[in-house]
Structure 1
Amino acid sequence: MSHDSPDGASAPHTPAGRIVGAALALSLVLTLVVLAFTWPAMTSDAKDLPVAITGPADGVAAVAAQLDTARPGAVDLVEVTDRAEAVDAIETRETYGAVVLGDPASGRPPEVLTSSAASGVTNQLMRQIAQQLQAAVTEQATAATSARITAAQSEAAEATQRAMQDAVAAALAAAAQGEQPPAPEGPAAAPEPVTIEIPQVTVTDVVPLSDDDPNGSGFTASLFPILLGGMIGGIGISVAVRGAMRRVTAALLYATLGGAVLTAVLQGWFGSLQGDWWWTWAAMSLAIGAIAAPITGIVALVGRAGTAAGPVLMMLVGNPISGVTMPQEFLPWSWGTIGQWFPPGASGTLLRDLSYFPQADPSAAWTALAAWTAAGILLSLVGHARAPRPAVAPAPPVRVAEPVS
């Protein structure tokens, strides 16, 4: 049975082929969404993760061989001169951690440096390295102690044998001279007990997370409102505001106000972010603008169909390779590096640097966000220049009334 349309005409049913096509198309979209969000987690693995190391050359070689056996290709050891340089490498985000080998001469035990603020995944990996190092140190100490015990037992056995031989020789000499054999000496002194001294590997968190966000979950969750807010703003402005240049103005104003709101909530209220308030506001505003401006720019260029650019570019492409939940080194091929040039990845890196790594160089993240914002504005300008101008109707002729005679 067909339904009547508002004008009274009978509206035909949707053809079966169109129903099947729509279902297949939506299923394909769902497949892409599932792959975008699950593929990075399922295929991620540690690869060439930079970790500093300092110590004797033989110790460095031993640790490198141990790590390569445990997880081949996972860690890329970067040799540094001392502990201070290792700490500097972590604070500037050149490495995710460091291994400081012990010094037997000074009695300094081995130490593993980590940074929970850099990544929860790498922090866990560094603690696993500490456990492996502790197992190796324990094995070496036990082997050295066993060797000492064996040497002490051999020395005691040799001393006892020599004492017995000397006693027999003295007895034979006394018997040959018709004298009374000397009284046997007392038992040999017992060897000193050997104690096992096992150095304990210490783990130091060089750049820890804040007390307000000890697990880092608040920081990770705070990045999603930036992505969602930028997309909502770009799509909403594209629909509600007419005129390319007015959309540019609205997007910039929205980014500024939205950045202030998110900074006030996420840093001032929840404490998920720890940087300077004004710098965080600037980063938030630029991150929102880097997502909203390209959407309005594409809409100005191609029309309302451009509103799909936000979900596709930012949500399906940029977010999975952003390296927010896991280090970029964990992503296959060069996707981690590419992801740092998309707004989700650049904003995550920038806010992490501002919050916990003030000595790091965030210029690449600033550049990426500024480039996306500028590209969105440029697209709006191009779309504004290409838009057809409405025809101006000619002015009606002016009649001049003739004077009445």
Structure 2
Amino acid sequence: PARTLDVAPLPAGDRAGLSVFVFELGLLIPSVLASIGLFFLGRRLRVWWRFTAAAAFALLAACGSVLVLDGVLGALTGAAGPLIGVGLAGALTFVVFVTACQAVTGLPGTGLAALVLVFAGNAVSGGTVPFAFLPGGFRQVAPWLPNGAIVSAARDVVYLPGSNLGHPLLVLGIWLAASLAVLAAVDLLHLAERRRTPQREADIYATPGTAHLRRRLTRQRAATLETASRT
């Protein structure tokens, strides 16, 4: 007869083994909500103020999630330090990605980020259905989304502490680096507009990057037409 071997027994507080999904979801939803609050509080400041606030929030979110799931519920135990590190990287990636979308399109960017992270990312995160059992296409994309990276990393540090976290951390690093690159590009647009009209600093920071690009293209088109009419 077949013999069952439990390589990593589940703790008493998580008999279903779903706490890593709860951990990821507990980082995602507050991060999206926090990014909305940071948008309204800091949209008239440089985008790096929101990034600094996002980093502080990510640390609080990670510590709070681990405190509840480990200390209170006893669901994810024995790896509080590494789990806080995973939570910090995950929450920071979530908030900065939403902030980057907002910097490009304004508040509607929150909807775009929610579509990617909440609806698509959560459905294929691997928390409830392992990657191997997902349909074709989803199975290939899921490991490269931040949701799946957080679930995989949290599962590894709690149940398989000797596992290699290279891939999950690489995924989070790619998403975070891409989001920071977008923020840097929008910040350069803001600085260029400030050099033209320094007295409108707050309004410039509150204007999405796409709006600045449209205005720049309009000015260039007008300058081209003016030059052509003179010649």
Q: What is the Cα deviation at residue 352 of structure 1?
A: 0.2
Q: Give the 3-state SS of the residue equivalent to 1:203 in structure 2.
A: coil
The structure whose RCO (Cα within 8 Å, separation 6+) is larger is 2
Output the CA distance in 2 between the equivalents of 1:263 and 1:218: 11
Number of the residue aligned with 1:350: 153
Q: Which has the higher strand share?
A: 1
Q: What is the Cα deviation at residue 219 of structure 1?
A: 3.7
Number of the residue aligned with 2:35: 234
Number of the residue aligned with 1:186: none
Alignment match of 1:270 (pick from 60, 70, 73)? 73
Unaligned runs of 5+ residues in structure 1 are: 1-133, 135-200, 394-405
Higher radius of gyration, 1 or 2: 1
Output the CA distance in 2 between the equivalents of 1:239 and 1:293: 15
Q: Does 1:257 align with 2:60?
A: yes
Provide Cα deviations, 1:20-79, integer angstroms capped at 9, x if missing partner.
xxxxxxxxxxxxxxxxxxxxxxxxxxxxxxxxxxxxxxxxxxxxxxxxxxxxxxxxxxxx
Number of the residue aligned with 2:49: 246
User: What amino acid sits opposite 2:25 in the alignment?
Assistant: F
Unaligned runs of 5+ residues in structure 2 are: 200-231
* Number of residue pairs matched by the alignment: 194
Q: Does 1:323 align with 2:126?
A: yes
Q: What is the Cα deviation at residue 363 of structure 1?
A: 0.8
User: Is the CA contact 2:70–2:77 (under 8 Å) kept in the aligned structure 1?
Assistant: yes
User: Is the CA contact 1:266–1:272 (under 8 Å) kept in the aligned structure 2?
Assistant: yes
Q: What is the Cα deviation at residue 336 of structure 1?
A: 2.1
Output the CA distance in 2 between the equivalents of 1:273 and 1:337: 27
Number of the residue aligned with 1:151: none
Q: Which has the higher helix share?
A: 2
Q: Does 1:370 align with 2:173?
A: yes
User: What amino acid sits opposite 1:254 in the alignment?
Assistant: F
Query: What percentage of aligned pairs have identical amino acids?
Result: 25
Q: Does 1:211 align with 2:6?
A: no
Alignment match of 1:360 (pick from 153, 157, 163)? 163
Output the CA distance in 2 between the equivalents of 1:380 and 1:220: 29
User: What amino acid sits opposite 1:265 in the alignment?
Assistant: V
User: Is the CA contact 1:222–1:272 (under 8 Å) kept in the aligned structure 2?
Assistant: no
Q: TM-score, normalised by structure 1?
A: 0.45
C-alpha RMSD of matched pairs (Å): 1.8
Q: What is the Cα deviation at residue 275 of structure 1?
A: 4.3
Q: Does 1:339 align with 2:142?
A: yes
Q: What is the Cα deviation at residue 281 of structure 1?
A: 0.8
Describe how 1:27-66 pairs up with structure 2 within 5 A: none
Q: Does 1:292 align with 2:95?
A: yes
Provide Cα deviations, 1:153-205, integer angstroms capped at 9, x if missing partner.
xxxxxxxxxxxxxxxxxxxxxxxxxxxxxxxxxxxxxxxxxxxxxxxx33221
Q: Segments of 4+ in structure 1 off by > 6 A? A: none
User: Is the CA contact 1:346–1:369 (under 8 Å) kept in the aligned structure 2?
Assistant: yes
User: What amino acid sits opposite 1:220 in the alignment?
Assistant: F
Aligned in 2, Cα 1:275/1:290: closer, same or farther, shift over 3 Å? farther
User: Is the CA contact 1:322–1:336 (under 8 Å) kept in the aligned structure 2?
Assistant: no
Number of the residue aligned with 2:21: 220
